[in-house]
Amino acid sequence: MTYNWQQADWPDFQYNVAKITTALQAFSSEIAEANGMLKSMPQSTRLQSIINTMVAEAIKTSAIEGELLNPRDVVSSVRNRLGLHDNPPIKDKRAKGIGELMVEVRNSYADPLSQQQLFTWHTLLLSQSNHIKTGQWRKGTEPMQVISGAAGRETIHYEAPPADKVPAEMKRYIQWFNDTAPGGRQEISAAPLRAAIAHLYFESIHPFEDGNGRIGRALAEKALSQTAGRPLVLSLSRTIEAARKDYYQALEKAQRSNEVTHWVVYFVNVVLNAQQQAKQLIEHTLQRSKFYDRFKDQLNERQLKAVNKMLDAGPEGFEGGITAKKYISITKASKATATRDLQDLAAIGALVLAGAGRSTHYTLCLDN
């Protein structure tokens, strides 16, 4: 098997831009709409939208690698890094690292890429790991392979360049990243296209002992924001994680050749979908803010706890609506109290009654 970095045209990636013209146009439209929505928001609501997106990215980029994090810990980490204190203590150090990385990537989006910046990101991400050497390129003679399957029946999906080639490869990568930035010698003006190549190129080098996927996705977001000229509010990993198998298959195929049109088409559409989902998340944050403005002074402690649980489900909504049984589970109220609380919420217009008999449930009223 010959991989992309072993071929004579490495890293001269070739692609057919005509295949992504429609998606690029749609992305430009979506990003303009999302930016307009953000600008129209009160500052506190806009900040909450940004925090929600960074938290979603942190949780999902970790989930892609098999790490499940406590959302509350991630929220505390992001808020602490933003200087917003009085947050619950962070129990999971992994959440602390990825949360801090998300804020650092956003804050430094306009900076030229450097080796030191990558080492800083790597240290933030994995400083809690005792067995990983952070803030340096991988070393040693063992091959860096992407493997799946049980012991003795492994499948090798990819093998990266040997460690002794990494410093030179990364020097060339960093130069490419900066040359393709706005105003660079080889500027790539389409943000999703630049992000697609930035991610594939980095993942193909696989320069770190661990954390390459998360750093690589952070680089894709940096490329997007830098090319767009402002920090974008979107979560690539939320979209990727929803169809993780497609992501790995597309990446594996792209690492067989330096003709990468199929990868570019795949990734540009991931970016477009991520931006569309981000717009939905922004809309939900605005609806949530308006909901609280209307009802917060009318809710008792139990009702507020249940409503928060429903709102935390995000744009997708609280699956199946809320029933008296679910309300009891969330609030520990009696059946009579749960029924009364839900009826009161419907009476003030906070919930909408649906179904009848055993199918009776309520949904949030977020339209106004």
Question: How far are the Cα atoms of 39, 306, 352 from residue 313, in angstroms, in the given order?
Answer: 24, 11, 17
Give me the chain's average pLDDT, please.
96
At 316 the pLDDT is: 86
The pLDDT assigned to 66 comes to 94
Question: Looking at the structure, do residues 115 and 209 belong to the same domain, yes or no?
Answer: yes
Residue 113 confidence class, pLDDT cut points 50, 70, 90: very high
In a domain, 293, yes or no: no
- At 215-229, the pLDDT tens digits run 999 999 999 999 999
> Has residue 292 been placed in a domain?
no
Lowest-confidence pick of 149-153, 247-251, 276-280: 149-153
Does the bond joining 182 to the residue before it have cis omega, within 30 degrees of 0? Answer: no
User: What CA–CA distance (Å, rounded) separates 334 from 5?
Assistant: 64
113 and 190 part of one domain: yes
Q: What is the pLDDT of residues 181-200, one digit of tens each?
A: 999 999 999 999 999 999 99
Domain final position from 257, 284, 311? 284
In the structure, what pLDDT confidence band is assigned to residue 268 with cuts at 50, 70 and 90?
A: very high
Query: The domain containing residue 348 runs over which residues?
Result: 299-364
> Is there a catalytic annotation at residue 199?
no
pLDDT in tens, 316-364: 889 999 999 999 999 999 999 999 999 999 999 999 999 988 889 999 9
- What is the domain-level CATH number for residue 337? 1.10.10.10
pLDDT band at 7 (very low <50, low <70, confident <90, very high): very high
In CATH, what number is assigned to the domain containing residue 55?
1.10.3290.10
247 labeled binding residue: yes
Q: What pLDDT is stored for residue 368 in this prediction?
A: 52
Q: Which residue has the tokens 């970016």?
A: 271
Q: State how far the Cα of 264 lies from the Cα of 19, in Å rounded to an integer.
A: 9
- Determine the average pLDDT of the residues in 190-213: 98
Do residues 350 and 288 lie in contact, with contact meaning Cβ atoms separated by under 8 Å? no
- Do residues 123 and 98 both lie within one domain? yes
d(CA 355, CA 349): 17
Instruction: Answer with the one of 238, 257, 284 that is the final residue of a domain.
Output: 284
Question: Per DSSP, which regions of the chain are E strands?
Answer: 145-148, 155-159, 351-354, 361-364
Same domain, 86 and 130: yes
Residue 30 — pLDDT band, cuts 50, 70, 90?
very high
pLDDT at 309 over 90: yes
pLDDT above 90 coverage of the chain, percent: 92
For residue 138, the model assigns a pLDDT of 98
212 is annotated as contributing to ligand binding? yes
The arithmetic mean of pLDDT across residues 296-303, rounded, is: 96
Torsion sign over Cα 234, 238, 242, 247: positive
Catalytic residue, chosen from 206, 262, 284, 361, is: 206
pLDDT band at 153 (very low <50, low <70, confident <90, very high): confident
Question: Known binder of ligand: residue 355?
Answer: no
Q: Strands 145-148 and 361-364, how do they pair?
A: unpaired
Cβ-proximal residues to 338 (8 Å cutoff; 6+ apart), any chain = 324, 327, 328, 331
pTM of the entire predicted model: 0.91
Is the predicted pLDDT of residue 177 greater than 90, yes or no? yes
Confirm whether residue 158 is marked as ligand binding: no
Number of domains in the chain: 2
How confident is the model at residue 324, as a pLDDT? Answer: 96
Whose structure tokens read 């009654």? 353
Q: Is the pLDDT of residue 167 over 80?
A: yes
User: Helix crossing, 191-205 with 244-254: angle to 10°?
Assistant: 70
Mean pLDDT of 252-258: 98
From CA 345, how far away is CA 352, in angstroms rounded?
Answer: 8
Q: Where are the beta strands (DSSP E) in 50-187?
A: 145-148, 155-159
Residue 260: pLDDT band with limits 50, 70, 90: very high
Are 266 and 332 part of one and the same domain?
no
pLDDT given for residue 213 in this prediction: 98
Q: Is 300 annotated as a binding residue?
A: no
Quote the pLDDT of residue 130: 86
Q: Is 210 annotated as a binding residue?
A: yes
Contact predicate 317/363, CB 8 Å: yes
290 part of a folded domain:
no
Q: Are 241 and 315 within one domain? A: no
20 is an annotated ligand-binding site residue: no
- How far is residue 270 from each of residues 53, 267, 321, measured CA to CA in Å? 16, 5, 29
CB 99 within 8 A of CB 107: no
- Residue tagged 């070393």 (tokens): 139
Residue 93 scores a pLDDT above 90 = yes
277 & 160 share domain? yes
- 66 labelled as ligand-binding? no
314 is in an annotated binding site: no
Place of tokens 């609506």: 321
Please check whether residues 64 and 204 belong to one and the same domain. yes
Site of tokens 């460690």: 163
